Structure 1
């Protein structure tokens, strides 16, 4: 196992790009893009666009007469998004908070938020902002994990469960928001058109460590007293012995305004 216990937080842009490029990432993103039905001339909004992973695909569908707006509050992410879309003249990168979008009311035809709501302070407030900026008939795509469903195979089942409890209860702000996406969307005034779930499966322990934060979150769990250090280290070392398996559930919702 080439990973180490307690490694530092990875570069977030690299993390997002790598996750999007994986088989599971391509599958749910492709399905959401199809259901959003972005057409030429549409104004499309990507909230929490990060390094601009999805902006070129959105721009291709919106065409020369459409506009794609990417919003993020992180300067490093914005710099990468601008670099990635420098040759796409209809892409507009804006700095802003998801709770107060720098977008005119009723101006957006299509919008998406992908694995962002689990991190924001008030998911309901962000969805209310989406309702404000979208026009009647708009389509909105939402995708979030449910970390309560995180499974890491180990003979030490209790430590695996303790790791999931730490991830859900401490490591992620809104760790189970995936299961509530449809409910939250309806409360925000949207009409839910489609709900689906995918299960990203990891068979490579190094890839799982990168995406799921096995080493860094285990270190935090040990330091916070949630997992015994000796037992945690043995659990972590054992993950590279024999076939590896980990998975979680990712929920996608497409709704209309």
Structure 2
């Protein structure tokens, strides 16, 4: 039987910090930063800034004359971000809904959203809000996983497919949004300038479990009927044998028409 330890969802702030500190997390976040092409004097927006994980690097890119606005709907996240960025006078943290940003029209030069659109009720509305607050020619960089691409190496393909199906159907609201970002950007009136993918490959089970909640979601998949209860042996085997898993992340750059 799978041990119950570690099956409780992690603290969201700790989890976001763990993702940012991981090797794949650092790699794609640096790629996003380069795609933003920040310049001193710009105003840059982080939609769904969480505990402020990425705000210091944004500030460094637009300092000394620019400004950074972080928006999050969760007051706890916003308060943590304020505490972390207290020494950065050009950073402004606001509590607000991504579907109705607390920002003036045509005031933003750059924006980013990192693994946020997979959770929102209406991704197109969020992108339309970016278009409203953005200046002509402003750019947004988006990063979203496509959870339908989650792969775990094992001879029993049905088990891996069952877990992936559960995550895409029951866990993540917009589980395949990665592949849809370019289309949704067009629907919001933006021009897609670049679409690239990065596929982190993890060969350590404990790291994959920490980042993707494999044990926790496997138990949930069994309880929800996506996998037979006898499948508990499978996750024990996966954790004890040479391990490999991956998921594809889409990075998309879109622009407001000039």
Question: Aligned runs of 1:46-125 on 2, under 5 Å?
Answer: 46-125=46-125
State the distance in 1 between where 2:20 and 2:249 align: 13
Say whether the 8 Å CA contact 1:6–1:220 is kept in structure 2.
Answer: no
Matched residue, 2:251: 252
| Contact 1:32–1:254 (Cα < 8 Å) also in 2 | no
SS at match of 1:127: helix
CA distance in 1, matches of 2:37, 2:30: 11
**What runs of 5+ residues in structure 1 fail to find an aligned partner?**
none
Asked if the contact 1:6–1:219 (Cα under 8 Å) also holds between the matched residues in 2, the reply is no
For residues 26 and 226 of structure 2, what CA distance do their matches in structure 1 show?
34
Q: Secondary structure at the match of 1:207?
A: helix
Match of 2:236 in 1: 237
Bigger RCO of structures 1 and 2 (CA < 8 A, at least 6 apart): 1
Whole-angstrom CA distance in 1 between matches of 2:8 and 2:74: 19
- Number of corresponding residues: 255
Offset at residue 48 of structure 1 (A): 0.3
Instruction: Tell me by how many angstroms 1:6 deviates.
Output: 6.7
Cα deviation, residue 170, structure 1: 1.1
User: For structure 2, which runs of at least 5 residues remain unmatched after alignment?
Assistant: none
Rounded Cα–Cα distance in structure 1 between residues aligned with 2:97 and 2:148? 27
Moved more, 125-134 or 233-242: 233-242
Separation of aligned partners in 2, 1:157 and 1:184: 32
CA RMSD, Structure 1 to Structure 2 (Å): 1.4
Give the 5 Å matches for 1:7-18: 7-18=7-18
Aligned to 1:214: 214
Q: Once the 2 structures are TM-superposed, how far is the Cα of residue 43 of structure 1 from its aligned partner?
A: 0.7
The alignment partner of 1:197 has SS state of strand
The Cα offsets for residues 176-195 of structure 1, whole Å up to 9 and x where unpaired, read as: 00001011111111111111
CA distance in 2, matches of 1:107, 1:91: 15
- The CA distance in 1 between the partners of 2:5 and 2:230, in whole Å, is 12
- Distance in 1, matches of 2:22 and 2:3, equals 19
Give secondary structure in 2 for the equivalent of 1:148. strand
Question: CA–CA distance in 2 between the matches of 1:198 and 1:166?
Answer: 23
Measured after TM superposition, the shift of residue 88 of structure 1 is 0.2
Specify whether residues 3 and 155 from structure 1 end up closer, same or farther in structure 2 by C-alpha distance, changes over 3 A only. Answer: farther
Deviation at 1:4? Answer: 4.8
Aligned to 1:166: 166
> How far, CA to CA, are the matches of 2:247 and 2:35 in structure 1?
23
Instruction: Spell out, residue by residue over 1:111-151, the C-alpha distance to the aligned partner (whole angstroms, 9 max, x if none).
Output: 01110000001111111111101110111101100000000
Local SS of the residue matching 1:248: strand
SS in 1 for 2:240: coil
Q: Secondary structure at the match of 1:208?
A: helix
TM-score (norm 1): 0.96
